[in-house]
Amino acid sequence: MSAPTFREALKFWVKLGFISFGGPAGQIAIMHRELVDRKKWIKESRFLHALNFCMLLPGPEATQLAAYCGWLLHGVRGALVAGILFIVPAIGILWGLSWIYVAYGEVPAVAAVFHGLKAGVLAIVAIALMRVGRRALKTPTAWALAVIAFVGLYFLHLPFPLIVFGALVIGFLGGRWAPSQFGGKQLEPSGSQVTAAKVSWRSTVRTGLLGIAVWSAPIVVVGWWLGWDSTLAQLGWFFSKAALVTFGGAYAVLPYVGQQAVENYGWLSATQMVDGLAFAETTPGPLIMIVQFVGFVAAWQHSSGFSPLVAATLGAAITTWVTFVPTYLFILLGAPYVERAHDDARLKAALSAVTAAVVGVILNLTVWFGMHVLFPESGGVDSFALIVGLGAFLVMLWTKVDMMLVIVLCGAAGLLWSLV
């Protein structure tokens, strides 16, 4: 396994930002296929170790995983470049779609392309589920934890943090009493450019204080400039709080954000909220990018003192800023400590249990995404999505075709289908 140069990694992070469809399941699948299977820049054990840590944090886990992998390869600059480029394409695309939406309504051609893209992403998610499951579920206990996690999330609707915390406790205790059931080959040490992370409390505190200052600066400026009761200040304050309680990713926090944005603040209607979710689901980048849509529409409709487009752009910018800055801060603060403890036997056991539970989590997301793609609200089975998704799945299963090509072909198929 040869580590990439910074320029090589930069090209990949740019590409990833444009192909990261499918919500967290699809994005994790894409990173696993590219970083672990194809390029072999990061070993399986290190990737799963990073994923386990990201699952424990509030915020979008796929964005955090990208930042963590960037940190593994090139330290702090790698983390910032990977994390920022992961969302930059989504910011631009969603800004454009939001403007078209509020100004002109929906565009059929764009919807048709996304129709094909979703089918392709479903295939990518299914491939990743198979590969991660095959490598992570090495013992009966691991299989049991994966099944329990899936049943708890899909059928019992248990909170995501409870699932992860329960697996962490089971792994911690099980590593002491039944170590053969926790750990395995997937937790062997693996190489990276940042293996012996030097950690000091002084640097940690300095990074934390600087991060908090950067995070809060826009809110303070807007509050001082426009008043704390202005829409922009309220957006910044609300989504700053939301960024700290979004355990379980976007799927867990969307009901809370939707209820507060629609019923409490009255920033947008329930229909607009659903439309925003559809945009976030079918564009690259994390699903939590719906916060940008909420900020855009809210400021557009409450644009006192500005033109609607300027206000909407500022609203989108501040919501995106306060949502994602803590995401990168958590990685920069925590990754050195997590890597330092990579060979700790008890921590390995605890995180191996989380790995098993994560397979159940990915299965839950796969089923959820598959139901929305294959069984639309209009009723019946979407035969186009089924055929394209199955075809993409078989192609990726039997060949080593570049995933970017698969995604492009699926999007083109969606556009052609709309013209038939």
pLDDT along the chain (420 residues), means of 10: 86 91 77 89 87 82 93 93 94 91 75 81 81 81 92 85 85 79 50 54 91 94 92 93 70 67 84 72 80 93 86 95 94 87 70 81 80 80 92 88 80 89
Residues 395 and 276 in one domain: no
11 in any annotated domain: yes
Q: Which of 271, 298, 329 is the last residue of a domain?
A: 329
Counted domains in the chain: 2
Domain holding 75, by residue range, is 6-195+342-419
pLDDT at 193: 47
* CA proximity to 323, closest of 80, 70, 58: 58
165 in any annotated domain: yes
Residues 49 and 149 in one domain: yes
Using CB atoms within 10 A of its CB, is residue 134 exposed (0-12), middle (13-18) or buried (19+)?
A: exposed
* Residue 216 identity (one-letter amino acid): S
Count other C-beta atoms under 10 Å from residue 2's C-beta: 9
Kindly state the tokens that stand for 257.
Answer: 């954000």
Residues 184 and 220 in one domain: no
Question: Can you give the pTM of this predicted structure?
Answer: 0.73
Kindly state the tokens that stand for 201.
Answer: 């409390």
Residues 62 and 184 in one domain: yes
Q: Which of 295, 329, 363 is the last residue of a domain?
A: 329
Count other C-beta atoms under 10 Å from residue 172's C-beta: 16
Residues 105 and 141 in one domain: yes
203 in any annotated domain: no
336 in any annotated domain: no
pLDDT at 372: 78
Residues 225 and 364 in one domain: no
pLDDT at 310: 94
Residues 24 and 172 in one domain: yes
Residues 364 and 321 in one domain: no
| Residues 72-86: tens digit of each pLDDT | 999 999 999 999 999
Q: Is the dihedral of CA 186, 393, 124, 379 positive or negative?
A: negative
Residues 37 and 186 in one domain: yes
Residues 171 and 26 in one domain: yes
Residues 92 and 173 in one domain: yes
Q: Which of 286, 304, 329 is the last residue of a domain?
A: 329
Residues 372 and 407 in one domain: yes
pLDDT at 65: 94
